[in-house]
Structures are given as structure tokens and as C-alpha cells.
Amino acid sequence: MDDNLHIQRFHLPPSPSHFESLIESRNVPAILVGCVKDWRALSEWNPYVGGLDNLQECAGSCIVEAMLTRTAPVFYGDLRSHDRVPIPFSTFIQICKQRLLEKSQGNVVSSELNSNRMTGPDLKKDCLPFEDDSKRLYLAQVPILDVINEERAQLEPLRKDIQTPAFLEKKKLASINLWMNSALSRSSTHYDPHHNVLCIVSGRKQVILWPPSATPSLYPMHIYGEASNHSSVSLEKPDYSLYPRAKYSRKSSQTVVLRAGDALFIPEGWFHQVDSDELTIAVNFWWQSHMMSSVSDHMDAYYLRRILRRLMDREMNEVLRVPCSLAEMDETKSHEPDVLGIKGMDQGVQCLSQAFEGGDLKEKELREETFSHELELCSARALHGLMTLVHDHVSVSDQTGALQSSSTNGSADGEESMNFTSLNSLENDQVAISIWNLEPCVLQKVLLTMANNFPRTLEALILHLLSPIGAEVLTRKFDQMDQRNTAEDQKRFYEVFYSSFDDQFAVMDAILNRKESFARQNIVLSTQVAGNSNRSRSNLCGITTKALLTWLSSSIYLVFKSVLDKYVGVNLNGPNPGT
């Protein structure tokens, strides 16, 4: 897990500025130990020291909406798994008293004790309509404060026993809610659309948390469903054949335990699943994050496109990472031992010089001594590999004639005449595989060396050998270089790279046109193979290279499908199994 996502623990309540700058701005959960230990509620509501009587006296007449589940002790957010039933708060309090009595007497309830320790008509069985279902009841998200609809604040009388933490005093709270259970309970895995501070008044809660980046392994429900913020995966018996990625979800999770007086900051979007001990009481505060409150409606479409592109790029990186293992296949090629098995730098340089003897004057002017000092062995091998690929595919005689007009034929108008590797036979695209297997820093050195010493060979590589998939891979490598380089280094690299071509704009057009061609051809092809391409990524390691590259050829469509499935909960192949 990313070190930046580790949950921090604070033993002193943060100031408002400290909370905003060091905790909230990180969008990572934080444990605030003893943060609300001074609340009056900790003594007034404690079930083990008369707290239930105090709650009865303060708010017993209030009508609250309880969750009645069909899957106790698990409480799922999906409406199909539970009902919301209005009951007097006093009824739930009496259920808690009954549970407390059963615990103290080892589940043997004496009618004499009932009459002595519990008073009032609510003790009679006919006045406890949910006694047989008491373990199926849970007071979840019962409003103490509701800013939007004050009338929904069903337990407003309890407000006097709690205080808004000092670090939240400047926040525009959306609501304050009570969470209370009589028996052991488990909430389903879900995220909230607000920032959240969960405060424990009595009992104990164990919270498992996942960052939003773990969304694919949690299988969120349909984004247009009423429980879209909940995971589709069952807590009791997860079906890994239906949800294979869920098998690895715990790898990205963190677990915290909260006791009375503790608080937990849960940022918006963080999935969490909560286990509560018997007779646990908690209060939470929700407020809208600054980021969400500052996004204007007219910007939604822009941010949607930006975020969708980022997710698709990330997914495409996963797709393109697979060919890294294809070097094993390349060992069968006749020229490969020469590429990876150079005995010495001088032999490699000599081989290059001989391979392009008769080329243009610039390439003959290369000084081998300087070249040997400029490139380390890894970069020299990579350079030799790419040079050899150009030599194998373009004969010296043909190259001379073709390169004379390469600047004019490299434009978009000349694209159709170029003999690109077919997307259906990517197993022959050694250029794309070779480029992808290079680290960005190594590729940058190789391209700069070619630009300075082998400009005509570089032109042949880019304009004549670079296929659509090769252009996709090359531009992704450019992106990786940009992330590692300073702005000045980026500028210098592109100036040297493009200035080596007679018509640098034609080269730019050629690369971009082929990149777009890759996307277009994949979309067309993917419609033909989509019915056979719904295979789990976990099976990719065992398939043949040819099957793998055929699968890769439909990547754009599949990437979009995968993003919708993993992050939005929409399956284009049919109904989502979680619905």
C-alpha cells in the first residue's frame, strides 16, 4: 500500500487549522484518540451505568426510524435487504435493557428480576412488538441534527449531551446522527458522499477501511441504483467466482479499533465496513468537502472527461504492462542474441557502423570513442536492438530512396500508403514491444543518441516502422518521461528529437495519426471480438502470446468497458451480478 495512505493516530485533539491542513487535506483517515472523552454523553448514555434510563427520560417519546434487516447480524444498505420501520425510541431502549439483562444473567431471564429491575408497561411482551426480532433492529443514521430538513431531526433532544469537536466548528455540517445497536452487528461495505467524523460514546467498533483506489476489488453497485455507494460483495459468503477481484481486497485495507471517547475521520469516498459490539452507541458528523462544494455544475462535463481519461489511461497501462514478459518470445528471433548478448561495447558500436555503412554522411561522422563514453551498456544494447530492427526491415538500398522523400510522405496524406503491421498480427511488432520494454530514462537516451548521430535511421524508425500500437506505446513513454523530467529537460529533449527530422510537423502528425488509428481500429475490431473477450485478467498469465496480443488489439473498447465495470458498477455485457 502507498505510504501516503497509512492511517495516522493523534493523541491530542487537533486545532481547526491543524485538522484542515494536516488531516482533512490529505484525504486519508485519522484516529483521534480520546477526542470526545469529555462529552457528557459518555457518562449519561452508558448502558452499564444507568444510561438507558437517561436516554428514556430525555428522548423516549421520540419516534425514530429503525432498520429492520433480513440478514442479521449483517445490515446491508440495499433496500431489498431491509425495511425502515418507525418505532418509539423507548421501544428500542427497552430492547437494549432486555439485552443487558440477558448478558448479566447468562441469557436466563428471571421474571422476578424483570419486575424489580425494569419497570413500566413496556416490559410486557405485548408491548415489545419486535422482541422476537430484536437482533434484526439497528438504529442507523438517526438524525440528531439535519441542516436541510430540521423536522427530520428525530432525536434533537440528545443534542445537549454532545458537543461539536472544536476542529469542526467552522465546518458547515450537513447532519449529526445517532448509531445504536443492541446486539452484535455488521454494516455492509460502503462509502459516504461526505466527510465523516465517527465518535464512540459507548462500546467498541472495528472499522475496516479501503481507499477509493480499491474500488475495482469491492465491486460497487450500479451508479444509478439507490445503493450505488455499497459493495455488491456479500460479507458472509463472498462468491469469488462471481467477484474474482474481491479475493484480493484485503491487501489494500486497513483496520482500526475504536473505543468510548475515540473518534475516526473517514474522508468522502473511502469504503468502510463496521463491526459493532453489543450495546454500542456512536454519533457521527457529516459535512461536504471543500472540493465537492467548490465544483460548479457547468464544470461537471469537463471533470468527467478528465477523470474518465485518467482512469482509462491507468487501465491501459495495466493492459500494456502485459507485453513486458514477451521478451521470452523474442529470444526465438534470429537477431535477438545479437541484441541482448553483446560481448562488449566496442563490438556493438562496430556492428552498428557496419550495418549502416553506405548511409548518409551524418551517420558516418559518429565518433565511436565518444559514443562509448556517452552510453552505458543497457542503453547501448537498446540502441543496437532498435537499429537492428530498422536494418532488418529496411534494406540499405531501399532505405536511401525512401528516406529522400520521407519528410513529405510522413504526413497524414501519406498514411494510407504505409505498410503498417496489422493489429491482428501484433506478434510481429517487435518495435512496439522493444520500446515498451525500455525504461523511460533508457529510451530517452537512446532517442537522443539516434537524433544526434543516426537521424536518418530515427526517421526510418518513426515514419516507416512505427505501427499504430507502436505510436500508442511511444506516446505513453513520452508521458512517463515528462513525469520524471523537469520542464527544462522536457523542452530540450523534444527540441533535439524533433529537430533531427527534415519536417518535424510531419513527424508529429504521423505519430498522432497512428495513435488515433490505433484507437479507431481497436474500436472497430473490438465490436467483432467483444463477445469472446470477457475473460478475467487473472487468466492472462496462462494464455499464449498470440492470444494475448489478439486480446490486446481490442484494448480500447475493453479498457472503457473495464473502467465502467470497476469504477461505475456498469456491466455492458448484461445485468450486474450484484443487482
DSSP 496: H
| Closest by CA position to 75, among listed 27, 138, 28 | 138
On average, the pLDDT of the chain sits at 78
Is 413 inside any structural domain? no
Q: What percent of the chain is helix, strand and coil (3-state, nearest 5)?
A: 55, 15, 30
- The one-letter amino acid at 427: E
Residue 188's CB: how many other CB atoms inside 10 A? 21
Query: How would you class 124 by CB atoms within 10 Å of its CB: exposed for 0-12, middle for 13-18, buried for 19 or more?
Result: exposed
pLDDT at 232: 92
* pLDDT tens digits, 239-291: 999 999 999 999 999 999 999 999 999 999 999 999 999 999 999 999 999 88
pLDDT at 564: 84
Instruction: Pull the grid cell for residue 98.
Output: 432486555
Is 471 inside any structural domain? yes
What are the strands of the beta sheet with 254-259, ordered from one edge? 74-75, 185-187, 271-276, 204-210, 254-259
* pLDDT of 414 strictly over 70: no
Is 280 inside any structural domain? yes
How many domains does the chain contain in total? 2
* pLDDT tens digits, 554-569: 556 677 788 888 888 8
Query: How would you class 497 by CB atoms within 10 Å of its CB: exposed for 0-12, middle for 13-18, buried for 19 or more?
Result: buried
* pLDDT tens digits, 335-366: 333 333 333 334 434 444 444 444 443 344 44
Q: How far apart are CA 270 and CA 195, in angstroms?
A: 9
Instruction: Pull the grid cell for residue 72.
Output: 442479521
Which of 234, 262, 294 terminates a domain? The answer is 294
Residue 434's CB: how many other CB atoms inside 10 A? 22
- Total-model pTM: 0.67
Q: How far apart are CA 244 and CA 238, in angstroms?
A: 10
Which of 294, 324, 356 terminates a domain? The answer is 294
- The one-letter amino acid at 344: G
Is 213 inside any structural domain? yes
- Which helix (H) or strand (E) is 181 found in, with range? strand 173-181
Is 151 inside any structural domain? yes
30-32 and 8-10 beta bridge pairing: parallel
pLDDT at 141: 94
DSSP 522: H
Q: Mean pLDDT across the stretch 79-98? A: 90
pLDDT band at 135 (very low <50, low <70, confident <90, very high): confident
Residue-number span of the structural domain to which 522 is assigned: 427-530+542-571
Is 350 inside any structural domain? no
Is 113 inside any structural domain? no
Is 482 inside any structural domain? yes
- The one-letter amino acid at 563: V
* pLDDT tens digits, 418-442: 444 444 344 567 888 889 889 999 9
Q: How far apart are CA 71 and CA 91, in angstroms?
A: 21
* pLDDT of 407 strictly over 90: no
Instruction: Pull the grid cell for residue 537.
Output: 485478467
For residues 157 and 578, the model is more confident at 157
Which of 273, 294, 315 terminates a domain? The answer is 294
10 HSE (CA, 13 A, CB side): 17
Angle between helices 555-563 and 545-552 (to 10 degrees): 70
pLDDT at 356: 42
* pLDDT of 165 strictly over 70: yes
Q: What is the DSSP string of 288-341?
A: --HHHHH--GGGHHHHHHHHHHHHHHHHHHHHHHGGGGGHHHHTTSTTHHHHH-
The CATH number given to whatever domain includes residue 43 is 2.60.120.10
